[in-house]
Amino acid sequence: MDYRALNRALWDERVAIHVASDFYDVAGFRAGGTALRDFEIAEVGDVAGRRFHPFADMLDDAEGTTVAYDYFDTSPQVWDEPGTYTDGDQDSRNTRSVQFHHGIGEVVSALAAAGLRVDFLHEHDHTLFRRFTSLERDGAIYRLPAGRPRVPLMYSLRATRPADG
């Protein structure tokens, strides 16, 4: 299986959907607005950077209430999902993608191996779209309902190259 060709076809098709979506608000950005959320601006200033927490990838796909996948499985995962996280009901022809899981340890170790210093690693109990049906909207983000144990759904990380490196 040619992972790159499969993923390229999927993302080439989704670009138009994402550009037209309210999720990215490209028109607002082009008019001088910002795509950054308040917590991103507080952490990294004018540099965009978001990643969903690898723990969220372990939860069942529907409700996100049960651990259903192996956190340490690094083999290629083939997904066949219509639509997109920005506009789930959009028709799409290219629905298959190949994804690889990268745990927090792998990410931080890769940064260290590249000579970077981790300035911070923050975990967040929210996500930017309704990834699971159990999530509830809380302004511009989505969280598990009140009273439920919180789990990390997203993280933010800043790494810099030391001045002497």
Average pLDDT of the segment spanning 25-49? 67
Cα 119 → chain centroid: 20
In a domain, 120, yes or no: yes
Q: Where are the alpha helices (DSSP H) in the chain?
A: 3-20, 26-30, 38-44, 104-113
- The better pLDDT of the pair 129, 34 is held by 129
In a domain, 78, yes or no: yes
In a domain, 121, yes or no: yes
The domain tally of the chain equals: 1
In a domain, 144, yes or no: yes
* Distance, CA of 143 to CA of 9 (rounded, Å): 32
In a domain, 112, yes or no: yes
In a domain, 165, yes or no: no
Can you give the pTM of this predicted structure? 0.68
Report the percentage of the chain scoring pLDDT > 70: 89
In a domain, 102, yes or no: yes
pLDDT of residue 49: 42
126 forms bridges with which residues in the sheet?
A: 143
pLDDT tens digits, 41-80: 677 665 444 467 788 888 888 888 888 889 999 899 888 8
Report yes or no: 142 and 126 within 8 Å, Cβ to Cβ. yes
- Work out the number of other CB atoms within 10 angstroms of the CB of residue 141: 19
When pLDDT is cut at 50, 70 and 90, the band that residue 14 belongs to is confident
Its domain, for residue 99, covers: 3-160
> In Å, what is the CA distance from 153 to each residue of 29, 99, 133?
26, 18, 14
